[in-house]
Structure formats: structure tokens, C-alpha cells
Chain A
Amino acid sequence: MARIFAYIVHKSGVADDTAVELPVAARKIYPEQPCTAIVTGWGADLDQVCESLRGTYREVWKIAKEPLAYPNAELIRKALQSVVPAGSILLVPHAHFGVDLSPGLSIRMNAAYVPDVLDIEGVEGEWLKAVRQEFGGQVSTHIRCNLSTGAVLNIRPGAFRPSEAAPATGQVVDKSAEVGALTSRRRYLETIAAETGDVDITRQTVLVSIGRGIGEQENVAIAEDLAEAMGAAVSCSRPVVDAKWMDRSRQVGSSGQTVRPKVYLACGISGSFQHLAGIKGSPFIVAINKNPKAPIFRVADVGVVDDILEFLPALASKVREESCVPGKRGGGHD
């Protein structure tokens, strides 16, 4: 049976949430097999992360190298190639770093690659059966993946919920000596922090959030008008920013802002996992979408199948009508 490893993403001495999720995925592959953590980095931060993982993993492999102080996937790929035995299964969180690291790593290891794994349905012989999504989550697929030469599996963050596993008292094994000199034809220079805009959407209690369904720039005013009536702010999905209809600081999602409103109106947003990743704190989600099968309806609390270009103005005028005439309730509610 192949060994299973979990690559630990960390920052400022703290392991990512996925560090406790990857062992859950590992147990779905081989229930009896312990999973070994691999942590790369440098200095006190690295030691702190390794120490923190001893409660979750029986064995923590540490690779301490100065060039790994910043997680450059080109260098980490080389380091992993040196220490991970041929035929192993390596689990990596499917986020910005994993997308950079894993496809090339699978080639270097001559291993199978399956990204964005949502579930694992078990192993039959040398075939693993995994669940993925395509077309922005509109359909799911079963993938059969051949384990005979090993595998790199990128696991979707949040998909494998940690249970109360028996606490481990793991040991840290220093593997640094097995890794030779690390150089790369891609060199990290600096990180430029996200721009801040006029409105801080991370501090709003109510967000009217628009997606590609808003259609064109002129229509953004429809959402702004509703937000004004509701005392809310407008946020958006990525395509709205890509089209330059709204400022990047308004983008909700894994490559945008993380918001924690009380109420989130998703208007013409399909509900991709990268978008949903930016919505935290379990807000009350209202989805308005003209496609009754849009994935957003699977996560929303309340759904409306309608055209936002007509629905939002109608809602705005109702909100105004009620707030202008105190005490008066518009229409029956039967």
C-alpha cells in the first residue's frame, strides 16, 4: 500500500485550516494508513508549524531550507521530489499554491493528478474513485485515477470536515539533509497587498452582490440603487471586476475579499466555489438567478428565479415605499 502524505500550507507560523482536513481525505483512501505531514519552510515559523501539527499527525516531515522561506512552488516541487518515495499519494490543498505546484509535480513524480477533489468514494484495486465538479459546479463527475505509479490529489478546502480523530502525539522528522541545493529560474521578488477601495465590503452587514448576470456596466446602477434603499453596499463576483465594471476591492471570493455580512443578496451569481469561499460567518443568503439550476440555490437560504434587471428595481421601489410611509404595509402577504 502506498504511503500517504499531506502537504501543509502555512503562513506566519500558523498552519492553514486544510492541515486538519487532509487527514480526513487520507482516511477515505486507506482507512488504516496513517498520513504523514510534509512541511517546507525556514526558521522559527517553520518550527512553530511543525510543533502545532504533532497533535494531528503521527509523523511530521520537516524540510528547512533558506530558499523555502517564501513558498515558491518551483523550489518546493524540487524539494518534494527528493523526499517523497516513488508511488506515494500526496494530498495538496486546491488553492492558489496547489494550482501552481501540483500539475508539474505529478509529471515529475510520474504520478496521476486529480485536482479539486470534493469527495473520495474509495479504492478498488489500483483505481481510486473521486468526485469533482465541472462547469462552475453545474455538474459533478466521478473520476477514476490510477494509483499504480502514485498520485497527486488536490483537495478542495472545506470539502472534508475534520471529525474528532484520536489525538496523535507525533514526532517531527527533519528531512532537510535529503534535499540538495535549491535554485529556480523563477525568483520571488515581493508581494503587493490588495488595493483598498472607497467602501470596505468586509465591514458591511448587508451586501447586494452582483455577478455576470448584471449584463453590462450601465446596469450596475440598478444594484447601487437597491443597496442605497436598503442601507447596504454593493459587492460583486470576479467577472464584474474583470470587465472593469467595479473596483477590485469589491470582489468577494478566494482571490478577493472575505466578507461576513448578516445578509447577502447574490444577484446573477452562479455560485462557484471560489466565490463562496469569500462568504463567511453563515449569513442569510438570498439568491436571485434566472437559471433555476444555478448552483447558488444549493447554498442559499432563499431563492428567487427571476431576471435581476427587473426584480432588483421592483424590490428597491418596495423598500423605498415601506420606509417612506411609516406604519404602512404594502400589499397583502398571503
Chain B
Amino acid sequence: MEILVCAKRVPDTSENEIQLNGAGTDIERDDMVYSVNEPDNYAVEEALQIVARTGGNVTVVTVGGEDDEEILRREMAMGATRGVLISDDTFNGSDGRGIAAVLKAFVQTEHYDLILTGVQAEDGCAQVGGMLAAMLDYPFASLVTSIEVLEGRKLKIGREIEGGSKEINAIDLPCVLSIQTGINEPRYVGMRGIRQVASVPIPTLGASDLGVEPDAVGEVAAKARRVDYFVPPAGKGADMLAGSREEVIDKMMELLKAKGGLN
């Protein structure tokens, strides 16, 4: 099976405290630690496990800039056959629809049986996969937590629904699936693995290589635009316990007793 995985490089929220810049136009990006968007990594692992069973190749694609190449290398170190960077100044300011339009153009220059995205990007809207499917007129399923390859160009997939239950569907190939965390255990990538792919060339494609319509991308095409960032209002806000750890624990003990927290 030929599988395409769409991946994005995002600020890693478990490594950074997200702060605003002075003007509120962006988050503070100096010294930011970036990584592969968490569910995208699960998507790559799932693709690798599928081709290990059925044969085929895994391509990882990202729409971004030069800096984003590092995540392609990381996913190649995991075992992806190749990475493709799609980059063009005309893409700047694209919303999810614009990114999906670029990915659609790329998919149409190649042949894929299965396209995987993550459920949602850390700084995203859980939209690119569903939009891409609609643009390609492929069937789509979101929040996928299991994939089984059936005979006759079909998959049996599990989707997560409310309350931890799972909805089982049959879906025809080609299709687009958005992958939820926990579907597998992504393999570990060490520095050695990264070094082994360090010099593999990564092709970069632009708008003209893919035949992307200029009016389908960028700020002009965006129907939704982020205006600014701000710190959400505090709400009622917690009563913060201050003092030494011993003092805090004493106060906490009183509260727990009063609220029935000690059985």
C-alpha cells in the first residue's frame, strides 16, 4: 500500500510555557522547542506498521518552511521511505482550507491508497484531514484508533466516540483518516537514527511544481484568519496556597478534611 502521512512541526507544549509576545500578535517563539505534532507521530507509526504487513511505502509530507525539514528527517529515521517538503511564499497566511488545497494538489501528482493526518495540530483546528478528503472526494473518518486492512481495497477502522466507546466502520480505499493518539506505541528515535538520514536529500516542491491555483491559498483565500492572541480571562481562579511545602501541606490537610477528601 502507498501511504501518505501529513505531518506538522509545532511548538511542543510539554516542553514550553506558551507566552504571548509584547504585541499579542504571536506567541513568544524565541528559544521555543518544536517537535512533530503528537498525533502525526502516531500516524507515521501506524503507516509503518501497515506497510510492514502489506508492503508498500510511507511518504511523509509537510507544508511549511526550511525549518520544518527536521521533522521529515525524524519521521524518516522512524522508517518512512521518503519525506517531501512543500514550500512557497504564496502559501503564507493560508488557513486550513489553503493547506488542504496544497496537499490536494500534491496528492493528485502522485498515487496514494491511504492518506493519514493527525487529529489536530497543537496550533490547529482539527480540519485539514476532513477538508482534504472533501476536496479529493474521498471518504473520511476522524479520530481513528484502529486500522485493519481487509480484502478488496477496504479497511476496517475503529473511531473513538464519546465515553471511551469505539465505533467500527468499513471504509473504501482510497480514503483519508485522521489518527488519534494512543492507536499504537510510536517507536523511539535515537540520535543515531537521525544521523543515518541526515544527508538524504529531501525534495522541496513549490506552487508551480504542483499546479496550485494562486487564489486557493495564502491570506487572500483564507476565510478564517487569526487576528491576535490574548491571555484568557482568569475565571474564578484558584486560591493559590503559598509558603513552604510544609505550610502548604498543612493548609491542604485542613481543606481536605473540611471537604471530605480524607476517607
Q: Assuming A74-B140, A139-B230, A149-B223, is B260 touching A192 (CB within 8 A)?
A: no
Interface of A is mostly: mixed
A230 CB-CB contact with B under 8 Å: yes
B160's partner among A96, A257, A286, A302 (CB-CB below 8 A) is A96
Per the bound structure, the CA–CA distance linking A73 and B130 in Å amounts to: 11
Segment from A18-26, A34-42, A54-62, A231-239 that makes contact with B: A231-239
B240 CB-CB contact with A under 8 Å: yes
User: What residues of A have a CB within 8 angstroms of the CB of B123 in the complex?
Assistant: 134-135
B53 CB-CB contact with A under 8 Å: no
User: What residues of A have a CB within 8 angstroms of the CB of B17 in the complex?
Assistant: 138, 291, 293
A286's partner among B100, B142, B231, B252 (CB-CB below 8 A) is B252
Per the bound structure, the CA–CA distance linking A306 and B242 in Å amounts to: 10
B254 CB-CB contact with A under 8 Å: yes
Encode B243-260 as 1/0 by CB contact (under 8 A) with A: 001101111111110011
Q: Assuming A141-B227, A188-B167, A238-B181, is B142 touching A100 (CB within 8 A)?
A: yes
Report whether B250 and A248 are in contact in the complex, using a CB–CB cutoff of 8 Å: no
User: What residues of B have a CB within 8 angstroms of the CB of A254 in the complex?
Assistant: 162
Q: Assuming A104-B140, A107-B135, A303-B238, is B165 touching A192 (CB within 8 A)?
A: yes
B199 CB-CB contact with A under 8 Å: no
A191's partner among B167, B224, B249 (CB-CB below 8 A) is B167
Report whether A146 and B238 are in contact in the complex, using a CB–CB cutoff of 8 Å: no
Report whether A135 and B27 are in contact in the complex, using a CB–CB cutoff of 8 Å: yes
Segment from B54-62, B84-92, B169-177, B200-208 that makes contact with A: B169-177
Report whether B237 and A238 are in contact in the complex, using a CB–CB cutoff of 8 Å: no
User: What residues of B have a CB within 8 angstroms of the CB of A72 in the complex?
Assistant: 169
Tell me how far the C-beta of A65 lies from the nearest C-beta in chain B, rounded to whole angstroms: 18
Tell me how far the C-beta of B36 lies from the nearest C-beta in chain A, rounded to whole angstroms: 15
Q: Assuming A135-B123, A212-B14, is B252 touching A302 (CB within 8 A)?
A: yes
Report whether A107 and B234 are in contact in the complex, using a CB–CB cutoff of 8 Å: no
Report whether A102 and B130 are in contact in the complex, using a CB–CB cutoff of 8 Å: yes
Q: Assuming A144-B225, A303-B238, is B246 touching A100 (CB within 8 A)?
A: no
Q: Assuming A191-B168, A248-B164, is B224 touching A143 (CB within 8 A)?
A: yes
Q: Assuming A255-B163, A332-B250, is B229 touching A232 (CB within 8 A)?
A: no
B49 CB-CB contact with A under 8 Å: no
Per the bound structure, the CA–CA distance linking A205 and B164 in Å amounts to: 21
A133's partner among B119, B166, B232, B241 (CB-CB below 8 A) is B232
User: What residues of B have a CB within 8 angstroms of the CB of A144 in the complex?
Assistant: 224-225, 227
Report whether A230 and B130 are in contact in the complex, using a CB–CB cutoff of 8 Å: no
B191 CB-CB contact with A under 8 Å: no
A305 CB-CB contact with B under 8 Å: yes
A99 CB-CB contact with B under 8 Å: yes
A244 CB-CB contact with B under 8 Å: yes
Chain B residues 136-167 with CB under 8 Å of chain A are 138-143, 156, 158-167
Report whether A107 and B249 are in contact in the complex, using a CB–CB cutoff of 8 Å: no
B20 CB-CB contact with A under 8 Å: yes
User: What residues of A have a CB within 8 angstroms of the CB of B256 in the complex?
Assistant: 230, 263, 286
Per the bound structure, the CA–CA distance linking A114 and B225 in Å amounts to: 9
Q: Give the size category of B's interface with A.
A: 35 or more
User: What residues of A have a CB within 8 angstroms of the CB of B261 in the complex?
Assistant: 206, 230, 232, 262-263, 265, 284, 286
Q: Give the size category of A's interface with B.
A: 35 or more
Report whether B141 and A299 are in contact in the complex, using a CB–CB cutoff of 8 Å: no
Segment from A83-91, A171-179, A314-322 that makes contact with B: A314-322
Encode B190-226 as 1/0 by CB contact (under 8 A) with A: 0000000000000000000000000000000001111
Tell me how far the C-beta of B152 lies from the nearest C-beta in chain A, rounded to whole angstroms: 12
User: What residues of A have a CB within 8 angstroms of the CB of B230 in the complex?
Assistant: 139-142
Encode B105-149 as 1/0 by CB contact (under 8 A) with A: 000000000000001001101111111011100111111000000
Report whether A99 and B126 are in contact in the complex, using a CB–CB cutoff of 8 Å: yes
Per the bound structure, the CA–CA distance linking A231 and B171 in Å amounts to: 47
A181 CB-CB contact with B under 8 Å: no
User: What residues of B have a CB within 8 angstroms of the CB of A115 in the complex?
Assistant: 125-127
Report whether B229 and A302 are in contact in the complex, using a CB–CB cutoff of 8 Å: no
B259's partner among A133, A151, A232, A262 (CB-CB below 8 A) is A262
A113's partner among B138, B172, B223 (CB-CB below 8 A) is B223
List 23 A–B pairs whose Cβ atoms lie within 8 Å, in order of A's numbering: A72-B169, A96-B142, A97-B161, A99-B143, A103-B128, A107-B130, A108-B134, A139-B232, A141-B229, A142-B230, A146-B224, A186-B140, A188-B168, A189-B168, A191-B168, A192-B158, A241-B182, A258-B163, A287-B238, A297-B240, A310-B245, A314-B249, A333-B250
Q: Residues on B close to A: CB < 8 A?
A: 11, 13-14, 17-18, 20, 27, 96-97, 100, 119, 122-123, 125-131, 133-135, 138-143, 156, 158-172, 175, 181-182, 185, 223-232, 234-241, 245-246, 248-256, 259-263
The 3 nearest A-B residue pairs measured at CB? A231-B263, A103-B130, A194-B164
A134-B229, A285-B238 known, 19 other contacts, Cβ within 8 Å: A74-B139, A103-B96, A104-B133, A105-B134, A133-B232, A136-B122, A140-B232, A143-B226, A144-B224, A146-B224, A186-B169, A255-B162, A256-B164, A284-B261, A286-B256, A298-B237, A300-B238, A305-B240, A314-B246
